[in-house]
Amino acid sequence: MGLFDFFKKKQETPEAQEALDKGLEKTKEGFFSKITKAVVGKSTIDDEVLDNLEEVLVMSDVGVTTTLKIVDRIQQRVARDKYVGTDDLNRLLKEEIQDLLAENNSNDFEHFEYGSHKPYVIMVVGVNGVGKTTTIGKLAHQLKEAGNKVVLGAADTFRAAAVDQIKLWGDRVGVRVVAQPMGSDPASVAFDTVKSAVANGDDVAIIDTAGRLHNKVGLMNELTKIKNVMQKVVPGAPHEILLVLDASTGQNAIEQATQFTQATDVNALALTKLDGTAKGGVVIGISDQFKIPVKYIGVGEKIGDLQLFNKKDFVDSLFKG
């Protein structure tokens, strides 16, 4: 069974749908209570309603750029359809968000062809506290469940806790961990991990990196060095640079995405902690603005609560009920 087939099978279960719906509860509650207030006393979608909607979307951390696109599209629909009541606002909003994301963003994960490289090397980046290590552990679990041999590289050698956490996850999900003493050269750990993956016939190597957001030049140099040493073992590695962001930080997550995408060639995103925040709208903004696939979303604390991000499913769940 391929990686996508496994995830698809998992996410088609009622439990996975329930986890997504529950994970978005706080966002839905805040979002729709604000929209209700925005249209109170109004029967048609006029300029005042659109101004209020714009404020709601910005306050929901959708982001200014994406908000302006959405409001402009709704304004065009209203002008074209002549009479549109406020009762139609949720439907219009849902349709325009889905259409915007479908038009302006890369494909969902179902088009990602896993298995063209062995080992497939994933380098994970992101600041401390965003759920990076937990995401690595949960992803390792999902990959192993799909029948892949996985190895983890503890290349965040600046914090003893980071190495210990990776080892704990390795024990928990039953995958190997390559580690060196605290303070070791991160590139050396990455090199050893990839070399070990080749020797052991592993399918996937996931490399953790230091969760520091220092100046962009320093960050770029460090990540470039790690990439270069891995390429000596596996040409083209890392095949995936996964940026992990904490959705609960709202606009700060967008700023982190900006910093990391300028520092390295991020080609996949994971948004964590959606279940603990009312700022889930940031997923819409990030998905639209960066044109980088949001591959995974964290919707709960269970080991299986790392889900594939599907734009339509996400928006459907956001507007459900």
Known binding site for GTP: residues? 126-133, 208-212, 272-275
Give the C-alpha separation, 267 to 84, whole Å. Answer: 40
Question: What's the Cα-to-Cα distance from 128 to each of 141, 190, 224, rounded to whole Å?
Answer: 21, 19, 19
Residue 243 in 3-state DSSP?
strand
- Annotated binding residues, as ranges? 126-133, 208-212, 272-275
Amino acid identity for residue 115 in this structure: G
Instruction: Identify the burial level of 89 via C-beta atoms within 10 angstroms of its C-beta, where 0-12 means exposed, 13-18 middle and 19 or more buried.
Output: buried
Assign residue 60 a region (left: φ > 0; alpha: ψ between -120 and 50; beta: otherwise): alpha
CB of 121 within 8 A of CB of 234? yes
Give the C-alpha separation, 307 to 161, whole Å. Answer: 26
Residue 121 in 3-state DSSP?
strand
